[in-house]
Amino acid sequence: MSVGLVWFKRDLRLRDHAALAQAAQCERAFGLFIIEPAWLESFECDPRHVDFLLRCLAPLQAALWQRGLPLLVRMGEAVQVLESLRRQWGVTHLFSHEETGPAWSYARDISVGRWSRLQDVQWQEWPQTGVVRRLRSRDGWAARWTRRMEAPQVAIPSGFGTPPGMQPERLPTLAELGLPTPRVQAAAGEAVAWDSLRAFLGGGGRHYRRGLSSPLTAPDACSRLSAHLAFGTLSMRSVHQATELAIEHSADRDLAYGLRGFASRLRWHCHFMQKLEDQPDIEWRNVARSLDGLRPGDGAAWGQEAQARFDAWCAGRTGYPMVDACMRQLCATGWLNFRMRAMLVSFAAYHLWLHWRAPGLFLARQFLDFEPGIHWSQMQMQSGTTGINTLRIYSPAKQARDHDPLGEYVRRWVPEYGSCAYPDPIVDEKSALAQAKEALYGQRRSSSARAEADAIQDRHGSRKSGLPATAGRRSRQKAPDAGQGVLF
């Protein structure tokens, strides 16, 4: 008898779910979500992620049960959980989506692979984004992305063979997991994700390009789909196809224009994830190894002074009101628009001269949409450690002038600004930036750094971004706008 187990991870949906469809072919099938201690204990995990996950699982469990598929939820190390279910229910097949995750999930997948071979359980995985496993070359990647995204979606199975006597298992509460309830709870689940997508494609996307850069307009102008994509309540293919359809049928030129800008970002999503897939150590190591050791916190612990700068940045008390406002919004709500994320990182990297790893872990906990491949690639890009991108240093004052000219946003998040309760600037911008530029540009001019840049461009660089292949040629080109199209 074939007994299929659907292992849900970052694919918490019914629609376009290849693993689910395959399980329907088995005589018996059930679903599983494993709450892994390695995840709960990781530096990137925050109660807001666990809360969102549980609120995605609840409606998914109900929808699956309507079709006869019980979803079990177990706490524990993956191999142990899988093995105990194999023994109890005679599992013959394991079905799941590929994951491009942090080091702990990569190590876990290797153990699960070993276990499945040893126990003769057939483990089949499917891609669910444009990320390609064991990619040999970036050439042709974009065409491959398009082919994958335009392939037909997988139909929802109508029913499953339920193992006799098996029932869905009660989900743990946050309190049972020893976690506090977050102050803000973003709406979660597949139905909510589809409502958000429809609202955006049906008109919400009209102001996308104009509104995405200012923290005042971005919360409404952007799609706000990132957490849904990160938890897989929507498949990338569904979003892509629905977007292309909306563009094709839209009689509203502003909307179609906005949606085209949005559509290109869906490619970026996978483009950035591919880097982590190809080079898992970009999570903790500079892409450009020639920059190793340049900033405090790279490899060795940093001193008290750097710690104080880091603490002030995390607390939103740097004395730079735009930086502090953004950090406070992010910590309170779990979301911030792209440009302001980039400014926060640029400030940590250049003004405060901190290595990106600790700031990246802190931000990972704040971003509800934490997606390791995008996150670590962006952390490195905005910190100038990719070796191939123009250094992009954001002036907080200029960002405030451009995107919050009346000071409305700063007043909302930093009400004490202007009073003696607000700190003085933690660093002098002019001298901090002069030192940062001297250190980075000096290093980049070395011949070893230039040779390394060519290799990095070849391995990771976008073939469509217009970025030239070498550092020498790059310096003569105009940098693309950060809000519009910076890729490495």
Ligand X SMILES: Cc1cc2nc3c(=O)[nH]c(=O)nc-3n(C[C@H](O)[C@H](O)[C@H](O)COP(=O)(O)OP(=O)(O)OC[C@H]3O[C@@H](n4cnc5c(N)ncnc54)[C@H](O)[C@@H]3O)c2cc1C
**Binding site residues, ligand X, CB under 6 A:** 212, 222-226, 229-230, 262, 265-266, 268-269, 272, 337-338, 341-342, 345, 367, 369-371, 374-375, 378-379, 382
> Which strands form 3-8's sheet, in the order they lie side by side?
71-75, 28-35, 3-8, 93-97, 122-126
> Computed from CA positions of residues 264, 461, 9, 44, in that sequence, does the dihedral angle turn out positive or negative?
negative
> Computed from CA positions of residues 35, 279, 129, 114, in that sequence, does the dihedral angle turn out positive or negative?
negative
Least distance to ligand X from the beta carbon of 369, Å? 4
Asked if residue 392 lies in contact with residue 482, where contact means CB atoms within 8 angstroms, the answer is yes
Nearer to ligand X, 49 or 444 (CB): 49
Least distance to ligand X from the beta carbon of 346, Å? 9
Burial 452-479 (b: 16+ CB within 10 A, else e): bbbebbeebbbbeeebeeebeebeeeee
Dist. CA 481–CA 483, nearest whole Å: 6
- Closest by CA to 267, choosing from 146, 383, 163, is 146
Dist. CA 446–CA 387, nearest whole Å: 12
Least distance to ligand X from the beta carbon of 60, Å? 20
Least distance to ligand X from the beta carbon of 208, Å? 7
Nearer to ligand X, 15 or 265 (CB): 265
Name 292's Cβ contacts closer than 8 Å, sequence gap at least 6: 285, 286, 298, 299
Whole-number Cα distances in Å, 300 to 296, 303, 385, 392: 7, 9, 17, 26
Nearer to ligand X, 95 or 141 (CB): 141
Name 470's Cβ contacts closer than 8 Å, sequence gap at least 6: 450, 453, 454, 457
Least distance to ligand X from the beta carbon of 303, Å? 25
Nearer to ligand X, 202 or 418 (CB): 202
Nearer to ligand X, 33 or 262 (CB): 262
Nearer to ligand X, 91 or 273 (CB): 273
Least distance to ligand X from the beta carbon of 250, Å? 17
C-alpha Rg value of the chain to the nearest Å: 23
Asked if residue 295 lies in contact with residue 443, where contact means CB atoms within 8 angstroms, the answer is no
Nearer to ligand X, 457 or 462 (CB): 462
Amino acid type, 294 = L
Least distance to ligand X from the beta carbon of 349, Å? 10
Least distance to ligand X from the beta carbon of 311, Å? 19
Nearer to ligand X, 273 or 432 (CB): 273
